[in-house]
Amino acid sequence: MTKYEKIEKFLISFLQKEVHKAGLSKAIMGISGGIDSAVVAILAQKAFGESSFLGLFLPATTSSPNSLNDAQTLCQKFNIKTEKAPIGELVDTYFKDKEATKLRIGNFSARMRMATLYDISARENALVLGTSNKSEILLGYGTIFGDIACAINPIGELYKTEIFEFATYLGVPESILTKAPSADLWEGQSDEEEFGFSYAQIDKVLMAHIENHLSKEELITAGFDQHLVEMVLQRITANRFKSELPTIANLSTVK
């Protein structure tokens, strides 16, 4: 059995056990047309089947039409039951007559997607699945209470480069495999353009730092680009709060 056959088997069982542990039998998630949500959607479909798994399309006004097309292609290939719940009007109404950056609008869109997803999860009595990979979690590349929000996350221990390999093994459509990674927060947005480095470059630094415990100095001595190392380590430090529970004041120290 290959590495990804083992991972697939384990994660299907993980999803089933965690959903049932919560006293539920259904799962739900947003399907963006990106590679991460494609991998989770395929696993969920295999874990729960068409009757107990629902994929939501949640396009905003600024979303790329290609993203929706890719999401639909994926769901047709794997017989995933879907529903479309556009969030464009919610976002456009809020920002009417307001001056706002692309980042503000993008983050608000991500939170409106999750608010809609959680509302429909209550209707369906289903658990919300997450789609953040390990690279994104470590870098803090996600919107807190937006795309980061979920009840369980099956792919949070897989680096982005591993997600590409896993997706290929699972049979994700070529249009999703070959397009530039994007959170689709605004038209033309690209993860790697924002970082200034590819995920292949970033993951090598992350693995050396996280798995092999190399310090900044050791990473640079090992030949990694200094700007890349500094960007990765700065993001890990600055965004650690996104992957932790809120810090609660410890009143036991008050005398």
Q: What is the pLDDT of residues 116-149, one digit of tens each?
A: 999 999 999 999 999 999 999 999 999 999 999 9
Q: Check: pTM over 0.75? Answer yes or no.
A: yes
d(CA 201, CA 128): 31
Query: How sure is the predictor about 75, in pLDDT bands with cuts at 50, 70 and 90?
Result: very high
Amino acid 181: pLDDT: 77
CA distances from 204 to 119, 173, 212, 227, 253 (A): 39, 26, 11, 14, 42
Out of 80-84, 215-219, 222-226, 244-248, pick the least confident: 244-248
Once rounded to an integer, what is the mean pLDDT over residues 24-53?
A: 97
Query: How sure is the predictor about 64, in pLDDT bands with cuts at 50, 70 and 90?
Result: confident
> Taking the domain 3-190, which CATH number applies?
3.40.50.620
Q: Kindly tell me if the per-residue pLDDT of 184 is higher than 80.
A: no
CA distances from 248 to 144, 151, 232 (A): 17, 21, 27
Amino acid 180: pLDDT: 79
Beta strands in 99-141 (DSSP E): 126-128
